[in-house]
Amino acid sequence: MSPPPLLLLLPLLTMEPAGATLIRIPLRKVYTGLRALNPLRGWDKPAEPPRLGAPSPGDKDFFVPLSNYMNVSHSPTQPPVAVPNLPALSQALHPGPLLFCHQVQYYGEIGLGTPPKNFSVVFDTGSSNLWVPSVRCHFSSLPCWLHHRFNPKASSSFRPNGTKFAIQYGTGRLEGILSEDKLTIGGITGASVIFGEALWEPSLVFTFAHFDGILGLGFPALAVGGVLPPLDKLVDQGLLDKPVFSFYLNRDPEAADGGELVLGGSDPAHYIPPLTFVSVTIPAYWQIHMERVEVGTGLTLCARGCAAILDTGTSLITGPTEEIRALQAATGGVPLLMGEYLIQCSKIPTLPPVSFLLGGVWFNLTAQDYVIQISRGGVRLCLSGFQALDMPPPAGPLWILGDVFLGSYVAVFDRGDRKSGARVGLGRARARGAGQ
C-alpha cells in the first residue's frame, strides 16, 4: 500500500440551519444472550465503481434513530472491490466464525415498496449494498422464515431486475437476486433503489439476528454489480441535499434508545464542538490515516502510522495481534474466549486511557469507554473493547474503529464532491440529554 496522502485538519463548529427538517423514528432496544456468530463478509464478484453522487446545496437533515442490539459483533457484509489492495482486505476483515459475549449491534427501520413494507436493517459503513430477505426464499432457509420478507407482488412500484448476487460468509453463503423498488427512510419517500432479495441464507448469524437485512453506507466502489448505493440514489434523485450522514451511538444499556443516524448533515446536540475533520485516504471503506496510538504513558502502538477504518458494523476496536496483546497486557486483560479478554471490574478506575492520534488531534478513551460492563442475574462481567484481527500486507496492518470508539465520538461521514475529497468529522459524543 502506498503511503497515504497528508490529512486535512479542519477544526470547526458545524452549525446546521435553523430551518433544517429533523425527522425521528423511535425504535426499541433488544438485549440477547451469549450467542453471536461473526461471519466473513464478502461479495463474490468485484464491481465496477459507479460514479459518486454529486451534492447539491441545501439544509435538509433526516434522522433515523437506531436500536441497540446486544449480540452480533461485526458487520455482516463486506464486498471485495475493484480498488487496489482492497480485495485482500475485504476477505480478512471478518474471518469468523467468532463468538462474542453480549456485544452491540445498532439497527433501524426502513420501508421498501408501495405501500412500504417495514424492515429492520444494520446501517453499515463497511459495505454499500441494500438487501433484505425475500418471500421467494428457499423453504429450508430458516432465517427467511424468522424475519420480515419482501413480497414483490404486494408492491405496486416493484420492477424486476433478476441479476443474481452472492455473499460469502465464514459460516455459509447469502444468495439472491437484485430487484428495484421504492425506499422509505426517515422522512424520505419515493427513492427508487436497486436492492438484493435474499433467497438463501444458510448462515446461523441471520437466524439469531434481530435485524432483517443490511443497508450499506460505504462508497460506490464497494457495491456489487455496479449498483448505485442507496445514499447516492437519494442524492441523485434530489431527495437528499448532501451526501453527508452522521452516527450518534448510545452505548448506555439503561437508555431507551440506541442513538440516531442523521442523513444530510449532523446534529450539534449530539457532540461537543468543534469537529475535527480527517480526509479519507481510499474512497471505498471509510478509511483514514492514524498517526499513533498511546496506552497511558508507557506504550506506543501504530508508531509509524497506520490505516484505520471507521466501521459502524463492527462492535469492538480491532488491531494487529501483537499490538493488541501489548495493549491487553497494559490494561490487565486476561484471555477469555475466541480473542476476547476479561477485565477485572474493580480495576476500571485505575486503568490507563487509550488515545488515538487522528489528524493531529488526540481522541482519548477512558476505561469507562473501552471496557464493556455487563450485569446479569446479580453477576457483573467486564470485557475489553479491543480484539486482535490481522490483515496481511499490502492492505494491512490495519485497525478498525468500531462502535466502542464511535459510541464515544460522533462521526460525520462527508462524501465530498468533485472539488473536495471525502472526509470524516469526529467530535466527543454528549451524554444523552446533555446540552439539549
Active site members: 124, 311
**C-alpha of 10 from chain center:** 24
User: In the numeric block, which cell numbers belong to residue 362?
Assistant: 488526540
Who contacts 297 (Cβ-Cβ below 8 Å, separation ≥6)?
A: 352
Q: Which of 152, 146, 254 is nearest to 208 (CA)?
A: 146
What's the rounded Cα separation, in Å, for the pair 224 and 81? 8
What's the rounded Cα separation, in Å, for the pair 203 and 189? 32
The beta strands (E) that lie in 17-142 are given as: 30-31, 62-65, 67-70, 105-112, 117-124, 130-133
Who contacts 206 (Cβ-Cβ below 8 Å, separation ≥6)?
A: 76, 143, 147, 174
> CA 125, 130, 136, 138: dihedral to nearest 10 degrees?
-30
Burial pattern 206-222, b for ≥16 Cβ within 10 A else e, equals bbebbbbbbbbbbbbbb
Q: Are strands 286-290 and 306-310 parallel, antiparallel or unpaired?
A: antiparallel
What 3-state DSSP class applies to 352?
coil
What's the rounded Cα separation, in Å, for the pair 394 and 386? 23
Judging by beta carbons within 10 Å of its beta carbon (0-12, 13-18, 19+), is residue 353 exposed, middle or buried?
Answer: middle
User: In the numeric block, which cell numbers belong to residue 260?
Assistant: 440516531
User: In the numeric block, which cell numbers belong to residue 175?
Assistant: 444468495
CB 195 within 8 A of CB 128: no
In Å, how far are 126, 173, 276 from 225, measured between CA atoms? 17, 17, 35
